[in-house]
Amino acid sequence: MVTQAFAQEAVTPTEENLDNAIDATHGEPVVGATGHDNPTAGTHATTAASEEHGSGVFPPFDPATFPSQLLWLTITFALLYLLMSRVALPRIGGILENRKALIDADLAAADASRQKTDAAIAAYEAALAEAKSKAQGIANTSRESIQADLAAKRSAVEADLTSKVTAAEARISATKTEALTHVDEIAADTAQTVVTQLIGDIPTDSIRAAVAKASKE
């Protein structure tokens, strides 16, 4: 009796099973809901209903999801904007300012170095011009001093030479005069000796007069 009751309970459909079968098929009873037909018919009906419901539009392009998508887009944009404005952009701005400061410092240092170089070149050129001017002045002074010294020495030498030449000429003239005087005497003595040997004694005055007359001619 227990076996018959269990079999009758298994075969007899309950109201809950009928309701589930109707919901699965959108209100249409399916075969097997009463338990007398194929027991897999309900599964096939549920799978077909799921496939029919899932064959709709892709969710991102479904107009029904636009409000939620716009909401999340707004939230994401706001978060991204806050992140960029509070974190990324200040860091980028700081990096750019640091680089600008470094570039400005390098340019200022280069300009200062250029100014120092220009000043050094100008000072060198001024010192060189001053040295050239001093050297030219020293050379002119030295040349003038040397020329004056040479002129004085030359004048002294010329005066000394002139005096020596004059004295020498005077001595030569005196020597010549003296020599000429002795020549006449020698000639007179020689003539007297020769004449004396040839013709005898002749007065010395006559011989001297004859020699003087001959030397003048």
Closest by Cα among 21, 39, 37 to 29: 21
Q: What is the pLDDT of residues 38-75, one digit of tens each?
A: 544 444 444 444 444 444 678 778 888 889 999 999 99
Separation of alpha carbons 119 and 109, rounded Å: 15
**Can you give the pLDDT at residue 173?**
85
Residue type, 15: E
Residue type, 8: Q
Is residue 146 predicted with pLDDT exceeding 50?
yes
For the chain, the structural domain boundaries read: 2-56, 172-216
Q: Tokens 């000072």 correspond to what residue? A: 123
Q: What is the pLDDT of residues 160-174, one digit of tens each?
A: 889 989 988 888 888
Q: What is the pLDDT of residues 86-145, one digit of tens each?
A: 888 889 989 999 999 999 999 999 999 999 999 999 999 999 999 999 999 999 998 898
**Is residue 128 a contact partner of residue 136, using CB atoms and an 8 Å limit?**
no
**Can you give the pLDDT at residue 125?**
93
Residue 32, classed as helix, strand or coil, is coil
Token pair of 217 as six digits: 């001619």
**Is residue 192 a contact partner of residue 204, using CB atoms and an 8 Å limit?**
yes
**Can you give the pLDDT at residue 171?**
86
Separation of alpha carbons 179 and 198, rounded Å: 28
Is residue 204 predicted with pLDDT exceeding 80?
no
**Is residue 215 a contact partner of residue 185, using CB atoms and an 8 Å limit?**
no
Q: Tokens 């194929």 correspond to what residue? A: 38
**Can you give the pLDDT at residue 63?**
85
**Is residue 21 a contact partner of residue 29, using CB atoms and an 8 Å limit?**
yes
What is the distance of C-alpha 190 from the center of its chain?
108
Residue 126, classed as helix, strand or coil, is helix
**Is residue 36 a contact partner of residue 21, using CB atoms and an 8 Å limit?**
no
